[in-house]
């Protein structure tokens, strides 16, 4: 017999579903795994997660014999919840994988976002994949006799939810409704699509409720407790006065808190922060600067409203025994309490385990991080080396790099490339040779006004003959889904972001770019969002030193009319 508070979870790909498990447990429910099609028969409630590629997910489900039993489960009227590609599975097909069939409960096809459908003459393109916090607005509300609106699976008009996808089901007014579906929508540029959909025992979200903070946990809870339509509760309070003067719909400005982590001289893992990547105190002790404990700080930033948290293991260029990768425990503990996306970087590459002498592939390292609660991995040094090889081969990958293998297995959206560029001044364009140079408004002391940005590896210790444009173009082609753009000259300087660098990189790629390095005051975030088309902005030192809270940055942006996600508890 099934415990009343048990939900069955389908684990059919090597998914990064640790966070979903944590979110369900946070709601007070237990998980049973469905490991074979027969297990579906014993299940009452089923959740079907899905990440990555529609074709890969649906083919795996089909090959393992799950599609007919899922259909039976749904036809028997038992609760079903599909998340992300799990929602997409309800549809007939996707342009992502022509010829692969979905469950076909809804006879529509998924399209790919059109980068030029921005609806804003000043913005020529929008990033794909679409990564960030957006609405899920219920189109037709169910109402009580007295006219009170019912909430659809706990969704709230003022809440924001975390989406990450390149494919979507266009919303056609009335089309799904005529078949009895209730629909909640989101809009990206001019494209309005199905963010959540439900009918009877079936519910699905394109967004990740397990990564959508308190708002997302309410949605999971509503499904678990069978509350398809309920009277909205007032328990969801939003903190601060984060309101916006511009429309409340669409993608919000994404604010990321970054924690550089390393072992200090006493062997403890600490959050540190450098100036131009030098993390040692300038005092006679020359100790590693210790700014706090990683898990505690991640939780604090989550509670301040950070939209994502990134951990960078900054000493990962050393080979560590795979058995004690220090960040695994940090991720495990953080992901139990922090319900926004977690990125982990540092040491994602093929390596030799000094303990066993065996080679461990980048994909296997990433797998361990995903299993411990990471949603994305960030690749630094290895991406530079892979990009160099890519250009040596005449602009081709060979399928073996960490970027290629991880994005093939987990999807492009799970692979971030972290770039550590350094400015190189030149007198003339010829001196820059094949490198992409710009004219800078901040010339060098000796008056040189042209510069290019050289990629570095090993935390800036080694500069390579590859510029940042060459790097980002190569990694996008190999399957990276996002660029985390640091700037060594700006790091820890509190001078604001390097807008010239950000513009150069944004113009070179179609995937989202995160601005990093140099934020010192909330105004710097406003500046980078206004003066560039950057997709997200990251801060470290100003938060760690306690000068500003993440919530103050968001309040400032909202006051200036930029849309942000309200923090909810
Ligand atoms: O090369 O794949 O093993 O990854 C190593 C990772 O560690 C890379 O992402 C690299 O950026 C990072 N890293 C290595 N050494 C350092 C260092 O500081 N000595 N930190 C380092 C990078 C940059 C940002 C920082 C921003 C914002 N730190 O993470 O948070 O510059 O700071 P600010 O807001 O205080 O200005 P691999």
CB atoms within 10 A of CB 118: 17
Q: Which residues of the chain have pLDDT under 50?
A: 235-246
First CA to last CA distance, the chain: 35
Residues linked to residue 191 through DSSP beta bridges, in sequence order: 188
Q: Where are the alpha helices (DSSP H) in 264-325?
A: 294-303
Give the residue, by CA position, lying nearest to ligand 1 atom 12: 314
Asked about 57 being catalytic, the answer comes back as no
CB atoms within 10 A of CB 523: 14
Q: What is the largest CA-CA distance in the chain?
A: 78
Q: Which helix (H) or strand (E) holds 451?
A: strand 450-457
CA atoms of 427 and 504, how far apart (whole Å): 19
Candidate list 191, 260, 375, 476, residue with the active-site label: 260
The three-class DSSP label of residue 168 is strand
Q: What residue spans define the domains of the chain?
A: 6-230, 254-559
Angle between helix 468-478 and helix 402-410 axes, rounded to 10 deg: 40
Q: Is there a contact between 485 and 501 (Cβ–Cβ < 8 Å)?
A: yes
Structure-block tokens of residue 304 = 């301040």
CATH 3.20.20.70 fits 6-230, yes or no: no
Binding-site residues, ligand 1, Cβ < 6 A: 258, 260, 273-274, 277, 279, 312, 314, 316-317, 345-348, 378-382, 418, 420, 459, 486, 491-492, 516-519, 539-541
438: nearest Cα among 446, 448, 447? 448
Task: Please state the φ and ψ torsions of residue 94, each to the nearest 5 degrees.
Answer: -140, 145
The three-class DSSP label of residue 112 is strand
CA atoms of 232 and 563, how far apart (whole Å): 24
HSE at residue 58, side-chain half, CA atoms within 13 A, is 22
- Residue 143 DSSP one-character state: B
Q: Is there a contact between 508 and 472 (Cβ–Cβ < 8 Å)?
A: yes
CB atoms within 10 A of CB 438: 16
Test site for ligand 1: of 485, 491, 518, 522, most ligand atoms within 8 A of the Cβ: 491
Separation of CA 390 and ligand 1 centre (Å) = 24
The three-class DSSP label of residue 19 is helix
CB atoms within 10 A of CB 99: 6
CA atoms of 90 and 55, how far apart (whole Å): 13
CATH 1.20.1070.10 fits 254-559, yes or no: no
CA atoms of 369 and 371, how far apart (whole Å): 5
pLDDT of 239 reads: 41
CA atoms of 396 and 210, how far apart (whole Å): 36
The three-class DSSP label of residue 409 is helix
Q: Is the peptide bond before 129 cis (omega within 30 degrees of 0)?
A: yes
Query: What letters, b where the CB count within 10 A reaches 16 and e where it falls short, cover 232-247?
Result: beeebebebebebeee
Asked about 420 being catalytic, the answer comes back as yes
Asked about 208 being catalytic, the answer comes back as yes
Residue corresponding to tokens 């150069």: 504
pLDDT of 236 reads: 43
Angle between helix 326-335 and helix 294-303 axes, rounded to 10 deg: 30
Separation of CA 314 and ligand 1 centre (Å) = 6
CA atoms of 147 and 242, how far apart (whole Å): 28
pLDDT tens readout for residues 312-323: 998 877 776 666
Candidate list 191, 210, 375, 568, residue with the active-site label: 210
What number of residues does the chain have?
Answer: 569
């Amino acid at each position: 017999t099934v415990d009343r508070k048990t939900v069955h979870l389908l684990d059919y790909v090597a998914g990064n579903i640790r966070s979903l498990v944590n979110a369900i447990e946070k709601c007070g429910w237990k998980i049973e795994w469905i490991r074979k099609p027969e297990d579906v028969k014993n299940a009452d409630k089923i959740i079907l997660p899905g990440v990555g590629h529609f074709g890969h997910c649906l083919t795996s489900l089909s090959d393992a014999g799950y599609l007919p039993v899922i259909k039976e489960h749904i036809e028997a009227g038992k609760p079903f919840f599909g998340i992300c590609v799990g929602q997409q599975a309800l549809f007939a097909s996707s342009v992502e994988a022509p010829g692969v069939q979905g469950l076909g409960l809804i006879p529509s096809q998924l399209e790919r976002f059109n980068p030029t459908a921005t609806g804003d003459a000043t913005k020529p393109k929008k990033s794909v994949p679409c990564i960030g916090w957006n609405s899920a607005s219920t189109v037709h509300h169910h109402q009580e006799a007295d006219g009170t609106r019912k909430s659809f699976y706990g969704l709230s008009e003022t809440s924001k939810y975390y989406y990450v996808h390149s494919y979507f089901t266009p919303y056609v007014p009335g089309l799904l409704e005529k078949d009895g579906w209730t629909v909640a929508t989101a809009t990206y540029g001019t494209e309005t699509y199905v963010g959540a959909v439900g009918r009877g025992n079936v519910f699905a979200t394109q967004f990740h409720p397990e990564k959508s903070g308190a708002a997302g946990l309410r949605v999971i809870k509503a499904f678990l407790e069978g509350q398809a339509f309920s009277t909205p509760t007032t328990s969801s309070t939003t903190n601060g006065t984060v309101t916006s003067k511009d429309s409340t719909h669409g993608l919000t400005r994404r604010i990321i808190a970054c924690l550089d982590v390393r072992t200090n001289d006493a062997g403890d893992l600490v959050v540190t922060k450098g100036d131009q990547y030098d993390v040692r105190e300038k005092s006679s002790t020359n100790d590693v600067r210790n700014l706090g404990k990683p898990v505690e700080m991640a939780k604090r930033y989550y509670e301040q409203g950070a939209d994502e948290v990134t951990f960078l293991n900054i000493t990962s260029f050393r080979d560590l025994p795979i058995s004690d990768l220090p960040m695994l425990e940090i991720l495990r503990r953080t992901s139990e309490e922090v319900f926004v996306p977690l990125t982990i970087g540092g040491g994602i590459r093929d390596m030799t385990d000094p303990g066993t002498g065996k080679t461990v592939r980048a994909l296997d390292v990433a797998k361990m991080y995903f299993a411990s609660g990471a949603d994305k991995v960030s690749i630094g040094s290895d991406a530079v080396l892979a990009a160099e090889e890519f250009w040596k081969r005449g602009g081709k990958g060979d399928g073996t790099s960490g970027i290629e293998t991880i994005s093939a297995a987990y999807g492009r959206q799970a692979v971030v490339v972290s770039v550590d560029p350094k400015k190189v001044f030149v007198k003339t364009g010829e001196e820059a040779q094949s490198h992409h140079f710009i004219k800078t408004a901040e010339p060098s002391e000796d008056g040189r006004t042209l510069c290019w940005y050289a990629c570095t590896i090993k935390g800036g210790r080694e500069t390579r003959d590859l510029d940042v444009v060459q790097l980002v173009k190569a990694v996008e082609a190999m399957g990276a889904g996002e660029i985390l753009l640091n700037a060594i000259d700006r790091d820890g300087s509190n001078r604001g972001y390097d807008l010239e660098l950000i513009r150069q990189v944004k113009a070179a790629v179609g995937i989202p770019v995160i601005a990093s390095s140099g934020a010192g005051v909330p105004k710097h975030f406003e500046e980078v969002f206004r003066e560039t088309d950057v997709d997200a902005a990251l801060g470290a030192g100003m938060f760690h030193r306690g000068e500003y809270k993440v919530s103050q940055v968001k309040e400032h942006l909202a006051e200036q009319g930029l849309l942000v996600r309200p923090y909810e508890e």
